[in-house]
Copies of this chain bind each other. A is one copy, B any other.
């Protein structure tokens, strides 16, 4: 992951700084030094310390970064997250990008943790989706893990998920699975999307590794889980909210995927102050 963090960091800094920080370069001497505190301004599950540190050290490898907490810690408003010291220009020029990432990732971890808590004690795990912000998928999926969720595939390249459109074009679930068995490489599992109990039956016959129940009512989900009877893993998908997730989990599914933990989560409030 380090290389991707480094590339993203670089790109984000170029986006923000471009040809230079005209304000800082005109008001802060090249060799000025300072210390700064990064501070939580609300309760949260923290995620993103490594990329936050990388932003500043990309600008100046000599910046010292001491963190007082760790990714995954549940911290309260007022918690000092990290102390930075070093070149003042680098501190000021990295501030916005570092906070944008830290606030966004911690927002995702915090929201994921809320979902995970709701289904405590049940077998089901919270899964993420590919509904991420372009360019940020790896960081967002990391934040989901930090919040207690489990990752679904990272992209179209490292997992097979046969959806309704694939089935429609292939002709049937059986034909789609045959194609996939023939062309894919040795180490990929196969998941199939179903919308009705008939489709669940048809899918079962092809022995997929996982069956997805897409947008089913809770009653139908329960029947599907009964039908599948551990011959495949089961993923519930669609209309998952903090209100509905426990009921869904109680149907006995293995996984519940949830797009909003990545595409619609509010940033948490974190600030940086020069000391």
Contact present for B23 and A134 (CB under 8 Å)? no
Chain B residues, CB < 8 A from A155: 15-19
Write the A79-109 contact mask toward B (1 if CB under 8 angstroms, else 0).
0000000001000110011011101100100
Measured CB to CB, the nearest residue on chain B to A134 is B12
Question: A11, A101, A133, A185 — which one has the most chain B CB atoms within 10 A of its CB?
Answer: A185
Chain B residues, CB < 8 A from A209: 187, 189
Contact present for A21 and B156 (CB under 8 Å)? yes
8 residue pairs A–B, Cβ–Cβ below 8 Å: A8-B135, A18-B19, A18-B155, A19-B155, A23-B160, A28-B166, A34-B169, A92-B165
Contact present for B100 and A183 (CB under 8 Å)? no
Chain B residues, CB < 8 A from A152: 185-187
Chain B residues, CB < 8 A from A240: none
Q: Which of B25, B157, B167, B210 contacts A22 (CB under 8 A)?
A: B157
Chain B residues, CB < 8 A from A163: 23
Write the A107-119 contact mask toward B (1 if CB under 8 angstroms, else 0).
1000000000000
Q: Which 5 A-B pairs have the closest CB atoms?
A: A159-B187, A18-B157, A12-B134, A264-B266, A21-B156
A43 in the interface (beta carbon within 8 A): no
18 additional contacts (CB under 8 A) given A1-B19, A32-B169, A186-B233: A8-B135, A19-B138, A20-B157, A22-B158, A23-B180, A26-B160, A27-B162, A27-B175, A27-B176, A100-B132, A100-B133, A134-B136, A135-B135, A157-B158, A161-B187, A186-B189, A187-B189, A264-B267
